[in-house]
Structure 1
Amino acid sequence: MPGETPAVIRERCPLVMEADSRVPEGKLLSVHFMYSRGVVDPIMSERPYDAAAHMMLSDKQRSSSSRGNLSGDAFETVRRWILDGQLEADTVVIEREVALRLGLSRTPVRDALRRLVGEGLLRQNGRTIMVNAIRTEDVLEILVLRRLLEGEGVKLATHRISPGMLDILYDREVALLQMEHITAEAHWDVDNMFHATIAAASGNRLLARNVNELRERTRLYGFDQIPQRLEPGRQEHCQILEAMREKDAERASMLMQKHLQQVADAILGTLAV
C-alpha cells in the first residue's frame, strides 16, 4: 500500500534471493535490447554501471522498423497517439489534419492510416476513419490467447532470465506500490516491463511479438476500469518472480495463467454489477 516501507512490502510479497545470486557491489545488470518491430530480445550481462547504457524495457523505447521511411514514421506516431489515449475511441481521424500536424504530404499518412485499419486500431466506414473502441469481448478473447502464450513463455524464460533481471522487475513492482498516486501511465510502464521482459526472455521472438501486440490492444481497455486489481496484480507478479527465482517453471506457468485469468474474472465482474 502507498506509504509502506520496502521492508513491509517485501514481507507481504516475498521473493527468495540467495546472497550469492545478487548483483555484485558496484555493478548493475545491464540489458542490451535488439529491436525487431518493437519486439525486445534481451541479451543480459553484468557490467559496471553506466547510466547511458543501462536501458530499461519501456513501451516508449520502441524503435520503428521503418525509421527513415515517412509512411513508417507516420504509422508509429499515430499508433502512439492511439495507445497513449491522445486519440480516444470513436475520434474521427482526418488524413489532411494528421498530415499537417506531422508536416508530411498526405500520401504517406494515407498509407499509415490504412495499416492502422489493418491492425484494428482504426476502423473505416466509407471515407470516414475513426479510432476503434476495444470491446469487452475482445479483451476477454485476447486474455485467452495471452494465457496460452505467456504460460508457455514464462516456462522458457525461467531457465534463461538472469537473477539480476528478476531483481530489477521485483524492485519496479515495489516502487509502484509505494507511489502515493498511481497513474495509468506508471501502471502501464511497470506492467509492460514485467510481461514484455519475461516474453522476450523466452527466446522465442514470435511469441514475444504476439504477446506485445496483444497487450497493446488490451491497453486501450484501461486498468482504471478494474482498479481493484492493482494491488493483487502486483502480488501475483511477485509470486511469479519468486517461482522463476526458484527455477520452478511449472509453478511459474501456473501462476502466470492464474494471474491472467484473475484479470478476466475482474472484467467479467464489472459486467455483473
Structure 2
Amino acid sequence: MKDAKPPQKDAYSSILEAIDVGIYRPGDRLVESDLAERFGMSRTPIREALQRLETQSLLTRDGRSLIVASLDHNQMAELYVVRTELEGLAARLAARHATEEEVQVLQDMVDDDRALLDDPSALARANRRFHKQIHLASHNRFLVQQLDLVHRSMALMATTSLAAQGRGEIALAEHQAIVDAITQRDEDAAYKALRDHISVAFVTRLKLDSQAKDQL
C-alpha cells in the first residue's frame, strides 16, 4: 500500500500562508500569473482566492493592481485591543478545560522554543503555534474562529516584535508564566498572564515602528 500524499493546499490557504511567513509583505504586488506558477495552479482558483482576500481587507487596490494591505497606527491599536481580550479569554478557558495532554504540549513548546532564541523568524512561527495551541485548548470553537480572524490580520504587520533585542527571551518567560497558570488551573492568573504578554508585545512593536520611521 502506497503512502497517502498530504492534501494539497488550496489557493487561498497558499497565498495566506505566504503572506503570514513574510514571502509577500505589506505593499507587495500580487500577480495572478506569478502566483499560479509559484503554487502550480491554474489562474482561476488564484483569481478567486485574490478576490476573497480582497474582500477580507488583506489585499487592497493600487490602481488596477492588488497589493498586500498594511495597517496604520490606529488599525494596529484597534487590532491589539481585540486580540488582548480574546487571547486572555482563551487562556482563562484553557485553564478551565485543557486536558493534561494539552497542558503538556504547551510546556513542551516552551522548552523546545528556547533553542530558537537566535532565530527571530523561527521563533515567530513557534510563537504562532504556541498561541494557536492555547486557542484550541480553550475548547470553544467560536472563540477559535474569531482568533483565527485576528491572527490573519496580524500577518499584515511587516515585522515581528520578537525581532527586538532581548524580546525573545522575555517572551518565553511570559509563555512559561501562562503555562504555569494553566497548569495550576488558575483562570484569573492565566487571563492576566496572557493579557500582559500581549500588552508587552504591543509596546515592543510600537517602539520598533517608531525606530523604523526615524530611519526613513
The TM-score, its normalising length taken from structure 2, stands at 0.82
C-alpha deviation, 1:250, in angstroms: 0.8
How far apart are the structure 1 equivalents of 2:34 and 2:203?
41
- Match for residue 207 of structure 1 among 124, 131, 143: 143
Larger radius of gyration: 1
How far apart are the structure 1 equivalents of 2:129 and 2:37?
34
Which residue of structure 1 aligns with residue 200 of structure 2? 262
- Match for residue 170 of structure 1 among 80, 85, 107: 107
Which residue of structure 2 aligns with residue 145 of structure 1? 82
C-alpha deviation, 1:159, in angstroms: 1.6
1:122-172 Cα shifts (integer Å, max 9, x gaps): 111342111223334433321110111111121111121123322221222
RMSD: 2.5
Paired-residue identity, %: 25
Closer, same or farther: CA 91–269 of 1 in aligned 2, 3 Å: closer
Deviates more, 1:131-140 or 1:234-243: 131-140
Closer, same or farther: CA 152–101 of 1 in aligned 2, 3 Å: closer
The 5 Å alignment of 1:1-273 reads: 73-179=10-116, 181-184=118-121, 186-221=122-157, 222-223=159-160, 224-271=162-209
Deviates more, 1:163-172 or 1:98-107: 98-107
Closer, same or farther: CA 111–163 of 1 in aligned 2, 3 Å: same
Closer, same or farther: CA 107–266 of 1 in aligned 2, 3 Å: same
Which has the larger share of helix?
Answer: 2
How far apart are the structure 1 equivalents of 2:25 and 2:189?
39
C-alpha deviation, 1:251, in angstroms: 1.1
What is the identity, as a one-letter code, of the residue corresponding to 2:126?
V
How far apart are the structure 2 equivalents of 1:183 and 1:271?
17
Conserved 8 A contact 1:74-1:108: yes
How far apart are the structure 2 equivalents of 1:266 and 1:104?
39
The TM-score, its normalising length taken from structure 1, stands at 0.66
What is the identity, as a one-letter code, of the residue corresponding to 2:174?
E
For structure 2, the residue ranges without an aligned partner over 5 or more in a row are 1-5, 212-216
Closer, same or farther: CA 189–261 of 1 in aligned 2, 3 Å: same
How far apart are the structure 1 equivalents of 2:98 and 2:183?
9
Aligned residues: 204
1:165-218 Cα shifts (integer Å, max 9, x gaps): 22221222122223463241x213321222111111212112112212312322
Conserved 8 A contact 2:117-2:169: no
What is the identity, as a one-letter code, of the residue corresponding to 1:254?
K
